[in-house]
Amino acid sequence: MKPLNILSIPGDGIGPEIMEATLPVVEKVLTDAGVSYEIAHAKLGGQALDEYGFPYPDETKALAQAADGILFGAIGGPKWDKMPRHLRPETGLLAIREDLGLFANFRPATIYPELVSASSLKPELVSGLDILIVRELTGGIYFGKPRAIEEREGERVGFNTMIYSESEIRRVAQVAFDAASKRGGKLCSVDKANVLEVSQLWRDVVEEEAKNWPNVELTHMYVDNAAMQLVRAPKQFDVVLTSNLFGDILSDAAAMLTGSIGMLPSASLDVNNKGLYEPVHGSAPDIAGEDKANPLACILSAAMMLRYTFNLSEQADKIENAVSKVLAAGYRTGDIAGQEVGEKLVGTREIGQQVLAALS
| Contact status, residue 262 vs residue 155, Cβ threshold 8 Å | no
CB of 74 to ligand NAD, least distance (A): 4
> Whose Cβ is closer to ligand NAD: residue 11's or residue 139's?
11
| Contact status, residue 71 vs residue 277, Cβ threshold 8 Å | yes
CB of 241 to ligand NAD, least distance (A): 22
Residue positions counted in the chain: 360
The helix-helix angle for 313-328 and 296-308 (nearest 10°) equals 160
102 lies in the site for ligand NAD, by CB under 6 A:
no
Site for ligand NAD, residues 116 to 175, rule: CB under 6 A? none
In this structure, how many other beta carbons lie within 10 angstroms of the beta carbon of residue 20?
17
DSSP 179-235: HHHTTTSEEEEEE-TTT-HHHHHHHHHHHHHHTT-TTSEEEEEEHHHHHHHHHH-GG
CB of 80 to ligand NAD, least distance (A): 8
Q: According to CB under 6 A, which one of 7, 293, 304, 316 is a site residue for ligand NAD?
A: 293
The number of residues that bind ligand NAD (CB under 6 A) is 22
Site for ligand NAD, residues 71 to 100, rule: CB under 6 A? 74-77, 90, 93
Site map 249..288 versus ligand NAD, x via CB under 6 A: ------------xx---------------x--xxxxxxx-
CB of 92 to ligand NAD, least distance (A): 9
Quote the CA–CA distance of 182 and 211 in Å, as a whole number.
Answer: 17
Give the CA radius of gyration of the chain. 20
Active site residues: 142, 192, 224, 248, 252
CB of 137 to ligand NAD, least distance (A): 12
Quote the CA–CA distance of 303 and 286 in Å, as a whole number.
Answer: 27
Residues 162, 166, 171: CA angle, nearest 5 degrees: 105
> Whose Cβ is closer to ligand NAD: residue 192's or residue 281's?
281
> Whose Cβ is closer to ligand NAD: residue 201's or residue 345's?
345
Quote the CA–CA distance of 21 and 14 in Å, as a whole number.
Answer: 11
Site map 208..247 versus ligand NAD, x via CB under 6 A: ----------------------------------------
> Whose Cβ is closer to ligand NAD: residue 93's or residue 187's?
93
Residues contacting residue 203 through CB under 8 Å, at least 6 positions apart:
189, 191, 193, 220
CB of 11 to ligand NAD, least distance (A): 6
Residues contacting residue 237 through CB under 8 Å, at least 6 positions apart:
131, 186, 188, 229, 230
Quote the CA–CA distance of 74 and 95 in Å, as a whole number.
Answer: 14
> Whose Cβ is closer to ligand NAD: residue 55's or residue 140's?
55
Site for ligand NAD, residues 326 to 345, rule: CB under 6 A? 333, 335
Contact residues for ligand NAD, defined by CB under 6 A: 14, 74-77, 90, 93, 261-262, 278, 281-287, 293-294, 297, 333, 335
